[in-house]
A and B are shown apart, each in its own frame.
Chain A
């Protein structure tokens, strides 16, 4: 199943199951969505539930919050995470806070879907990873879908949650063919142990999951170790239990993210690990992240600014050699 098909199926089934589920955003209706995620929904559910909006992110989220207050379950689509900065006030000051400020009387069952990360030569204004911004806001749930199975189950879960969810996708994943698994009792807040191993835990999420998996055979061969790979899935809340179980076993941790290193989401994860698992660590944690630059347009420079399988393998090898692996 294609990644975007999994998302489409989740929205379709949610809309079929509950009339209060609506979707709104730029081109989500007649056009079928910039990334074809809402394809076919307009014909099926009509203009009242699949709503094309003007290019005005603040109003998309603002309206969605209004709908949520009014009893609907809106799914707001923002074309890229970069543009969501325009809606930041609505997301941070309103969606995230209403339940708290109303003493629980007002819930915001809102899902804001948006892709982020570096695609191919979309330049700095279309290539950011802002998970760290949203994951630092109390009142928000932040999920990052790297695969079709999680995308489907977690999005459905998000739509029916009574709290605002920032649902992060990745532009390069939409056309990817992926294995899909039906799962009963799915927990969107649980990290996934993608590959088991004994000597090193690599934490990652979104597209970097695939780059890490590509680098793992080289790392295992060159360092003569076995690597455990964990996809975090849920960025807020963070599944520290799965992380902790793994690090207690492997004693070493590397976090790979596409976000910039300074203040990136990985900084938070590593801080939590250092805080809670310091005495378990047999090596300083390593963060492999994007460079601290706006993402360049030039393809060579673009790739130079983010982790790639080669760079991940090389950095981990060097780090391993320096720290007793």
Chain B
């Protein structure tokens, strides 16, 4: 007997439904309760079940067709004895000769295939379930790639993601993605994306390039932040300086300042708790730029050293590494940007130093100097006496 399966009324407002997908073919045996189709109502996609056992005689509509409710969509022959087992039974029974081909082709029982989350063919290879799922979706053949040594064994999700990226991005484009920390799914993954496209994306969206701080940079930041918290003031003066032949200007500055510091104890002092620690030596921190790094290298006991010794120390400064010992123990600093033609600038006090002198460029035998002093250590008068003594000393040098 023919039994008509009709388009069901799935909601009060539904007058027609769209057949999204057939789950059976003509000739298939179905049992009561089997899902035979998916139908889209005005609200959702729902499954259509058969209420009778039988063999599908005819499918009356095609996938995608819209059909008024209660119109027949399929005809079931409920009298013919089922020829072939149903899908569910297939899994349990030994496959017949004809069917064995089908089973071999898919290589896993159809019941398992139904359970697979995607309709893509099963993925072979040694990989995690999540990796296989992702590979199936992206059409990546894990087994072959593992044979070629492209994918590791076992393969994990991140390996598949990387493989996927390699497919859609050129190596240079991938490098850019990593460099800028851009997510791959910011792009439409339907073509090979090259460096230029990523560059365009970066420009268009004004994406900054992250630049991690070097340990030196972090140390400098910490130092200057601390420095900025200090109560400081500036003293500006112009010194007459006559450079010696074959002696670096910086060496002359260090030597002269070191000697004058001996007459001004507070320039050899640091603040510690509720007391000053006044050191006997003139230990001067000197700002040294080495590549991108900035160091405050300390010239120790400069008052005892000859100008020649200091000059040798200065000349070797940039060609070597500094020990922790060499980067500590100062009480006053100097910074010199004169070699860049800078006329005048101010500097940040290094660590616990009492002050720092910033030297500009030498012009007409003169140099503009800006002193930054820690007001907690030197008052204006102390600073004035020191600077004035220094000015006379430089004059005397000449």
| A residues apposed to B, CB below 8 Å | 251, 278-284, 323-324
Contact = CB atoms under 8 A, between A and B. Distances in A.
A279 B131 CA distance: 8
B352 interface: no
B129 A279 contact: yes
Nearest to B117: A279
A323 B130 CA distance: 12
Interface stretch (B78-86, B154-162, B340-348): B154-162
B157 to A, nearest CB: 4
Given A281-B128, A281-B130, A251 B117 contact: no
- Secondary structure type dominating chain A contacts: loop
A283 B130 CA distance: 8
13 contacts: A279-B129, A281-B130, A282-B131, A282-B157, A283-B128, A283-B156, A284-B128, A323-B156, A324-B128, A324-B156, A324-B157, A324-B158, A324-B159
A279 B158 contact: no
Interface string B130-144: 111100000000000
B222 to A, nearest CB: 23
A245 to B, nearest CB: 15
B140 to A, nearest CB: 15
Contacts of B159: 324
A280 B130 contact: yes
Sorted nearest first, the 3 A-B pairs with minimum C-beta distance are A324-B156, A282-B130, A282-B157
A289 to B, nearest CB: 22
Contacts of B158: 282, 324
Interface in B266-283: none
Contacts of B131: 282
Contacts of A282: 128-131, 156-158
B129 A278 contact: yes
Contacts of A323: 128, 154, 156
Interface string B95-134: 0000000000000000000000100000000001111110
A283 B159 CA distance: 13
Given A279-B129, A280-B130, A281-B129, A251 B154 contact: no
B154 A279 contact: no
Nearest to A324: B156
A278 B155 CA distance: 16
Nearest to A277: B129
A284 B128 CA distance: 8
A279 B154 CA distance: 15
Contact of A280 (B129, B152, B155, B156): B129
